[in-house]
């Protein structure tokens, strides 16, 4: 490796980078982590050489940058990807090592985006977002705008991915004559497309890194507790209260097996709250439906309430007494006579007979 040029070492490192990320092995294995650390050292060595040669400057534009130098702008992105997968430190693989590596990965992404900003490859919105990220301030979008941004970035990534596939074919082709046939502008355009592809991925990775860092920060600390740890409340109470009153708060029993002596003292005082249960109740909780089902119908419930005097029975009204037009059998003859008499008075007005006698 010492006899190779910087460009040759960079090509070999990029090939190993693709193979490592595409591998299906466990990332927490010693083989994967060892290869990861070796590749990190190689990229950091190339980056050190690039800084010594001062290939990039804040005062130059992208058109002033040599075509062969453009791929080296991706080194910061590659290092970020590798550090985000690192778990090993001092030959010890542990998740506790990851938060530090995630912060290093985030710093490399910010530096990568800053370099692209110097060459005017970021949009105004991306520059604003980068500024807020660099200052540690949150950059929140509404769910609708965030969804729209993801859709647009996905479409752009698919278009750029098709273009940079041609770049891999160029790198895998060892025939210098075929490489020389490629137009300089075409090669430059492909290199810029690769930068833009990694640019879009960087903002997504920063959001994921922030989430992962927050999750690891809130990870509960595993403390090994001794099972036979002496409970301070099991000690005899040294106050003068004959009732045994104490202001100490009771502690719930642990999930481990608890002896009865830890729950009740010899004097019969309750040391810890506990619940007496039976095997039948535990069996119902395991094999039951998980909910309380009704034990009677609505009709049975109403009958039960009526029987216990909690509801009043509806008043049964006698339709015979309520019928105002009802006439008993005893009154039938009298009513009939009244009706006949009324009909006769209608047919014979008052005084009709006398008038007939006087006229005659």
pLDDT of residue 360: 47
Question: CA–CA separation, 271 vs 253, rounded Å?
Answer: 10
Q: Is 242 helix (H, G, I), strand (E, B) or coil?
A: coil
Q: Is 142 helix (H, G, I), strand (E, B) or coil?
A: coil
Consecutive H or E run containing 89: strand 88-89
What contacts 148, CB < 8 A, 6 or more positions away? Answer: none
The model's pTM: 0.58
Question: CA–CA separation, 109 vs 115, rounded Å?
Answer: 10
What is the rounded end-to-end Cα distance, in angstroms, of the chain? 162
Task: Please report, rounded to a whole number, the percentage of residues in the chain having pLDDT higher than 70.
Answer: 66
Structure tokens at 270: 């309750």
Q: What is the CATH number of domain 6-217?
A: 1.25.40.540
What contacts 83, CB < 8 A, 6 or more positions away? Answer: 40, 101, 102, 104, 105, 108
Q: Which residues of 184-219 are buried (b: 16+ CB within 10 A; e: fewer)?
A: eeebbebbbbbbbbbbbbbbebbeebeebbeeeeee
pLDDT of residue 84: 92
pLDDT of residue 315: 65
Structure tokens at 202: 């960087």
pLDDT of residue 226: 41
pLDDT of residue 354: 64
Question: CA–CA separation, 288 vs 77, rounded Å?
Answer: 55
Which of 102, 81, 300 has its CA nearest to residue 209?
Answer: 102
Question: CA–CA separation, 53 vs 75, rounded Å?
Answer: 15
Give bridge partners of residue 92 from the DSSP assignment: 89
Give bridge partners of residue 264 from the DSSP assignment: 270
Residue 296 has pLDDT above 80, yes or no: yes
149 with 141: CB under 8 angstroms? yes
C-alpha 235 chain-centroid distance? 46
Helices (H), the chain: 6-22, 30-53, 75-83, 98-118, 124-134, 143-172, 176-180, 184-217, 279-287, 298-307, 319-322, 332-347, 352-359
281 pLDDT tier (thresholds 50, 70, 90): confident
Structure tokens at 146: 């965030």
Residue 52 has pLDDT above 80, yes or no: yes
Q: What is the DSSP secondary structure assignment for residue 317, as one 8-state letter?
A: -
Residue 127 has pLDDT above 50, yes or no: yes
pLDDT tens-digit map of 73-121: 999 999 999 999 999 888 888 888 899 999 999 999 999 999 999 998 8
Taking the CB of residue 77, how many other CB atoms lie within 10 A of it? Answer: 24
Average pLDDT over residues 312-333: 60
67 with 170: CB under 8 angstroms? no
Average pLDDT over residues 49-61: 88
Taking the CB of residue 70, how many other CB atoms lie within 10 A of it? Answer: 20
Q: What φ, ψ does residue 94 adopt, rounded to 5°?
A: -155, 145
Residue 232 has pLDDT above 50, yes or no: no
pLDDT of residue 225: 41
pLDDT of residue 166: 66
Taking the CB of residue 271, how many other CB atoms lie within 10 A of it? Answer: 17
pLDDT of residue 346: 85
Residue 239 has pLDDT above 70, yes or no: no
Q: What is the DSSP secondary structure assignment for residue 270, as one 8-state letter?
A: B
69 with 56: CB under 8 angstroms? yes
44 with 76: CB under 8 angstroms? no
Question: CA–CA separation, 76 vs 64, rounded Å?
Answer: 21
Residue 186 has pLDDT above 60, yes or no: yes
Mean pLDDT, the chain, integer: 77
Average pLDDT over residues 39-51: 93
Q: What φ, ψ does residue 220 adopt, rounded to 5°?
A: -65, 145
């Amino acid at each position: 490796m010492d006899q190779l040029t910087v460009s040759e070492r960079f090509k070999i490192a990029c090939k190993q980078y693709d193979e490592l990320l595409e591998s299906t092995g466990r990332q927490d294995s010693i083989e994967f982590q060892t290869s990861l650390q070796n590749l990190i050292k190689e990229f950091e060595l190339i980056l050190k050489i690039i800084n010594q040669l001062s290939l990039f400057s804040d005062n130059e534009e992208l058109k002033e940058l040599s075509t062969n130098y453009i791929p080296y702008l991706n080194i910061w992105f590659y290092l970020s990807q590798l550090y985000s997968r690192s778990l090993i430190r001092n030959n010890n693989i542990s998740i506790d090592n990851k938060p530090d590596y995630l912060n290093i990965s985030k710093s490399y992404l910010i530096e990568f985006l800053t370099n692209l900003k110097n060459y005017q490859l970021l949009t105004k919105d991306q520059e604003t977002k980068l500024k807020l990220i660099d200052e540690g301030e949150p950059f929140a979008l509404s769910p609708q705008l965030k969804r729209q941004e993801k859709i647009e970035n996905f479409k752009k990534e698919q278009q750029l991915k098709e273009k940079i596939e041609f770049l891999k074919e160029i790198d895998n082709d060892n025939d210098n004559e075929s490489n020389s046939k490629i137009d300089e502008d075409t090669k430059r355009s492909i290199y810029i497309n690769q930068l833009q592809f990694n640019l879009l991925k960087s903002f997504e990775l920063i959001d994921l890194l922030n989430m992962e860092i927050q999750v690891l920060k809130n990870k509960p600390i595993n403390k090994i507790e001794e099972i036979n740890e002496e409970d301070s409340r099991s000690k005899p109470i040294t106050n003068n209260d004959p009732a045994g009153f104490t202001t100490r708060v009771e502690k719930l029993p642990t999930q481990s097996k608890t002896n009865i002596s830890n729950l009740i003292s010899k004097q019969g005082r309750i040391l810890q709250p506990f619940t007496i249960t039976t095997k039948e109740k535990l069996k119902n909780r395991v094999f039951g439906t998980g909910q309380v089902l009704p034990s009677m119908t609505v009709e049975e419930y109403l009958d039960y309430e009526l029987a216990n005097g909690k509801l009043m029975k509806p008043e049964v009204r006698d339709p015979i007494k309520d019928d105002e037009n009802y006439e008993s059998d005893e009154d039938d003859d009298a009513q009939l006579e009244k009706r006949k008499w009324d009909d006769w008075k209608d047919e014979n007005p008052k005084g009709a007979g006398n008038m007939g006698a006087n006229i005659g």
